């Protein structure tokens, strides 16, 4: 579109501007924000009154100078912060990158990037825009990226180029002649979702988030990769997640506004009372003192009017301006003390505390709720394989009475074994090496095949790179038991099974997500048979079993015992697939994979058809230890009257036991489950008022629904893990609209230092995620700890629902003895 000499571009440029002010807007916008404070309006009003000689008690400039000083201090603080934003924008926009021009790559600035440009990236480069990965120097055109600047996850993730570009774009000449067309969704903030289609040489090739390199990622363990710009600048997903820079209002600010208005109303009433007294006494006074009348030329009404304003100016000192100026310097001093605090210094990274706002001390003092995820925040995110259940039989580790328990290494026979694995069980090892039990064989084969781990060879040793530490622990355990994952291509997986190398053709990979809560891989083995291997949450696996017998019941009991030990569990299952069934299913899968609308839903239905009639193999149990100091930290927070909420996707029994382990829960607490919540209105409603809880289905019950017996609709759902689209909007301290309470949140992505992070990061982050199918867990206690929310993963959700739930919940959370009182 165009208007006069201005023409709107079809696509956004890659230039970003996150600063709040410019040269022309700084003064008016700053004054506009300053006079949102009622105290500044009050002082301005008094200065105007002091300008009238008839009612003035002081020269007007004696009050105007302190007001200007106060406004200047606050404006200078805002200006310094905004100069930092301008400087950060300039650094980011001027970063260099290589862009294909003609038949060679030239160095240009990020701000010169446009949609459709072909970019070359090298190891440790930051991705300048949202790119479609076309090729890389790694096998199968893989590219390893670190997303710590986006979601805080330090584990490397891999992205893969589409097979067609991997095979065709093998040289710069081929890239220069590339004439493909990408049709994709409109720019949006969903970080883990992308739907597109590559049209090239008369064929359509499906694209998804696994083919995308997002702006802000850092290339790791990959020498060179090539990509084409899909979204640039403010159309990129990380920029779509950036909230606007706005003026923060603390609880004290709002309280001061109310107090100033209250004092002003009081002054008006007092001045009116004194003025009426003057009205009634002035005539009698003038009659007794006749000489006074000659000095006053105004009527009684006019004199009363002037006396009213005179009293108002005389009593205006009830709101001292010096106090506000002093508070600003106190804020500055407190922020300096935070920077100097030795106890907040982190020696391993040589990083001291840094207060990025002079009012940080005031803001932290308003925090009443802390949200935290469990994995990587309360726990170390270091997974250890502890136990497993195969065919209904539990195989413990070093503490298994049936195991050897000896100090010698039982894996010396396996040259690929990882010496760091502590799990040892002689009985299980004998069963594996004898290779007579099919269930045991398929159990370890599944762990070696059904995953997204990538492997590299360094110094004649296999090194696994996994996006999830759980997967790495499982694949390492299979490796030690003789089922060694050796290599992966786009259509095959190579496994060494007890010394025999076998190559499995990958027919379909059904990825894990928070809706499915499982992962499956469909492969053709060297003998030509087709097998489906599936691992996931016990609930979804047991729903899809062909039959249930003694083995299944024994496995359920084993899962319950693992949960009591706070272990993370997964169920494993498989089935053999007929060739005819696969051919029919493959056609539907191909059609669903190239859809641009509702592709995820169509693929979900196709996957659902295949993942039926499974045979249970067993379950795994992994330990993730608590971090050092977690218990002491939670204890200190409780002493500070701060309520801690922890969200976890574990089984309910695991969640409760972890709550007790980190002292979030105590024996004095009453734990209510779903069936105890869903009672008729009356007894249940009266007993639970003031208690926070989630409701099954992934929804959070609003406050007004509590009063009506819990029979009303639900609020929105909680965001999925690692999605700063919803996190980012909650990353700044949240203000309760009614009560002025503040909430902080902690999660895996609590970074706020680098320029790219500053675009979306604030002091805090919202927790990792929860989902549909949540089971309710309610905690009421005399202690000042509200709840450990057990929410099982169930999909991409909207984050503000959790905050709105607590906003509605808080007014009824003052009952004596309640968890939120």
Q: Known binding site for Mg(2+): residues?
A: 373, 375
Of 336, 380, 342, which Cα lies nearest the Cα of 360?
Answer: 336
Q: At what angle do helices 38-50 and 300-314 cross, to 10 degrees?
A: 130
Give the whole-angstrom CA distance, residue 660 versus residue 788. 10
Q: Which residues are annotated as a binding site?
A: 373-375, 471, 512, 535, 568, 648-650
Give the whole-angstrom CA distance, residue 29 versus residue 37. 14
Give the contacts of 491 (CB within 8 A, at least 6 positions apart). 163, 505, 506
Q: Is the dihedral of CA 787, 788, 794, 796 positive or negative?
A: positive
Provide the residue count of the chain: 821
What's the chain's Rg over C-alpha atoms?
A: 33
CA distances from residue 351 to 347, 356, 359, 387, 661 in whole angstroms, order as listed: 7, 14, 21, 39, 30
Helix (H) or strand (E) holding 465: strand 461-465
Find out whether 154 and 148 touch, Cβ atoms under 8 Å: yes
**CB-CB neighbours of 464 under 10 Å:** 17
Q: Which residues are catalytic?
A: 373
Q: Which residues are annotated as a binding site for ATP?
A: 373-375, 471, 512, 535, 568, 648-650
10 Å CB burial of residue 502 (0-12, 13-18, 19+) is: middle
- Spatial strand order of the sheet with 157-160 comes to 157-160, 142-146, 218-220
Q: What DSSP character marks residue 422?
A: -
Please give the angle made by the CA atoms of 597, 599 and 602, to the nearest 5 degrees: 120
Give the whole-angstrom CA distance, residue 655 versus residue 660. 9
Please give the angle made by the CA atoms of 757, 628 and 340, to the nearest 5 degrees: 55
Helix (H) or strand (E) holding 621: strand 615-626
Residue 210 exposure: Cα atoms within 13 Å on the Cβ side: 16
Strands (E), 341-402: 367-373, 379-390, 393-395
- Spatial strand order of the sheet with 787-790 comes to 734-735, 742-746, 367-373, 643-648, 787-790
Render the burial of 326-361: b for 16+ CB within 10 Å, e for the rest. Answer: eebeebeebbeebeeeeeeeeeeeeeebebeebbbb
DSSP, collapsed to helix, strand or coil, labels residue 638 as helix
Helix (H) or strand (E) holding 329: helix 321-340
String of DSSP letters for 109-174: EGGG--TT-EEEEETTPBP-SEEEEEEESSGGGEEEEE-HHHH---S-EEEE--HHHHHH--SHHH
| Long-range contacts, stretch 95-104, CB < 8 angstroms, 24+ apart | 95/126, 95/128, 97/121, 97/125, 97/128, 100/172, 100/175, 100/176, 102/176, 103/172, 103/173, 103/176, 104/172
Of 76, 129, 81, which Cα lies nearest the Cα of 762?
Answer: 81
Give the whole-angstrom CA distance, residue 373 versus residue 367. 17
Give the whole-angstrom CA distance, residue 77 versus residue 492. 59
CA distances from residue 206 to 134, 182, 200, 593, 594 in whole angstroms, order as listed: 13, 10, 11, 6, 5
């Amino acid at each position: 579109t165009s208007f006069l000499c201005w023409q709107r571009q079809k696509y956004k440029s890659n230039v970003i501007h996150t600063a709040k002010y410019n040269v022309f807007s700084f003064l008016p916008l700053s004054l506009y924000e300053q006079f949102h404070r009622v105290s500044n309006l009050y002082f301005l009003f008094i200065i105007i009154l002091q300008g009238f000689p008839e009612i003035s008690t002081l020269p007007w400039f004696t009050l105007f100078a302190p007001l200007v000083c106060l406004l200047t201090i606050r404006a200078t603080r805002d200006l310094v912060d905004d100069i930092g934003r301008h400087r950060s924008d300039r650094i980011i926009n001027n970063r260099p990158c290589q862009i294909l021009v003609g038949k060679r790559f030239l160095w240009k600035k990020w701000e010169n990037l446009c949609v459709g440009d072909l970019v070359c990236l090298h190891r440790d480069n930051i991705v300048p825009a949202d790119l479609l990965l076309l090729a890389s120097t790694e096998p199968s055109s893989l590219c390893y990226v670190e997303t710590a600047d986006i979601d805080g996850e330090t584990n490397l993730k891999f992205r893969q180029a589409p097979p067609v570009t991997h095979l065709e774009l093998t040289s710069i000449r081929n890239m220069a002649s590339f004439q493909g067309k990408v049709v994709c969704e409109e720019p949006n903030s969903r970080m883990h979702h992308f739907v597109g289609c590559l049209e090239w040489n008369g064929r359509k090739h499906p694209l998804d988030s696994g083919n995308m390199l997002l702006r802000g990622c850092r290339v790791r363990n990959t020498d060179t990769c090539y990509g084409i710009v899909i979204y640039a600048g403010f159309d990129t997903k990380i920029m779509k997640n950036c909230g606007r820079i706005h003026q923060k209002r603390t609880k004290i600010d709002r309280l001061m506004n109310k107090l100033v208005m209250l004092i002003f109303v009081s002054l008006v009433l007092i001045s009116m009372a004194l003025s009426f007294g003057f009205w009634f006494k002035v005539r009698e006074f003038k009659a007794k003192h006749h000489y006074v009348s000659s000095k006053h030329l105004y009527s009684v009404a006019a004199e009363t009017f002037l006396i009213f304003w005179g009293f108002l100016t005389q009593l205006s000192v009830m709101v001292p301006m010096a106090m506000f100026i002093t508070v600003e310097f106190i804020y500055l001093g407190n922020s300096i003390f935070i920077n100097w605090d030795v106890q907040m210094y982190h020696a391993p990274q040589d990083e001291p505390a840094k207060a990025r706002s002079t009012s940080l001390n005031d803001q932290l003092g308003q925090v009443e709720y802390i949200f935290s995820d469990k994995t990587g925040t309360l726990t170390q995110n270091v997974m250890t394989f502890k136990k497993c259940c195969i065919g209904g039989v539990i195989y413990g580790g070093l503490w298994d009475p049936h195991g050897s328990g000896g100090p010698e290494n039982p894996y010396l026979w396996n040259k690929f074994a990882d010496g760091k694995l502590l799990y040892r069980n002689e009985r299980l090892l004998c069963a594996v090496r004898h290779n007579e039990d099919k269930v045991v064989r398929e159990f370890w084969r599944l762990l070696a095949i059904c995953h997204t781990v990538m492997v590299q060879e360094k110094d004649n040793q296999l090194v696994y790179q996994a996006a999830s530490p759980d997967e790495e622990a499982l694949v390492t355990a299979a490796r030690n038991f003789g089922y060694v994952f050796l290599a992966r291509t786009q259509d095959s997986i190579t496994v060494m099974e007890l010394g025999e190398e076998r190559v499995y053709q990958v027919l379909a990979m059904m990825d894990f997500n928070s809706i499915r809560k499982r992962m499956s891989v469909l492969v053709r083995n060297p003998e030509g048979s087709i097998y489906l291997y599936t691992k996931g949450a016990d609930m979804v696996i047991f729903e899809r079993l062909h039959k249930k017998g003694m083995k299944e019941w024994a496995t359920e009991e084993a899962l319950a015992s693992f949960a009591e030990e706070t272990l993370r569990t997964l169920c494993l299952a498989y089935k053999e697939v007929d060739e005819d069934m696969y051919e029919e299913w493959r056609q539907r899968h191909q059609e669903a994979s190239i859809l641009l609308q509702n592709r995820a839903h169509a693929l979900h239905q196709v996957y659902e058809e295949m993942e039926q009639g499974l045979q249970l193999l067993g379950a795994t149990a992994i330990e993730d230890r608590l971090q050092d100091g977690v218990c002491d930290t939670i204890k200190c927070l409780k002493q500070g009257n701060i309520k801690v909420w922890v969200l976890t996707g574990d089984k309910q029994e695991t969640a409760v036991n972890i709550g007790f382990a980190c002292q979030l829960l105590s024996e004095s607490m009453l734990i209510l489950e779903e069936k105890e919540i869903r009672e008729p209105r009356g007894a249940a409603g009266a007993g639970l008022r003031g208690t926070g809880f989630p409701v099954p289905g992934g929804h959070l019950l609003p406050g007004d629904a509590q009063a009506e017996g819990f029979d009303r609709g639900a609020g929105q759902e909680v965001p999925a893990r690692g999605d700063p689209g919803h996190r980012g909007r909650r990353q700044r301290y949240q203000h309760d609209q009614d009560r002025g309470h503040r909430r902080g949140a902690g999660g895996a992505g609590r970074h706020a230092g680098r320029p790219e992070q500053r675009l979306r990061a604030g002091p805090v982050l919202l927790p990792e995620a929860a989902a549909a199918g949540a089971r309710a867990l309610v905690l009421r206690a005399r202690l000042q700890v509200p709840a450990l929310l057990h929410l099982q993963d169930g999909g991409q959700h909207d984050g503000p629902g959790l905050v709105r739930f607590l906003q509605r919940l808080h007014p009824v959370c003052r009952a004596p003895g309640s968890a939120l009182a």
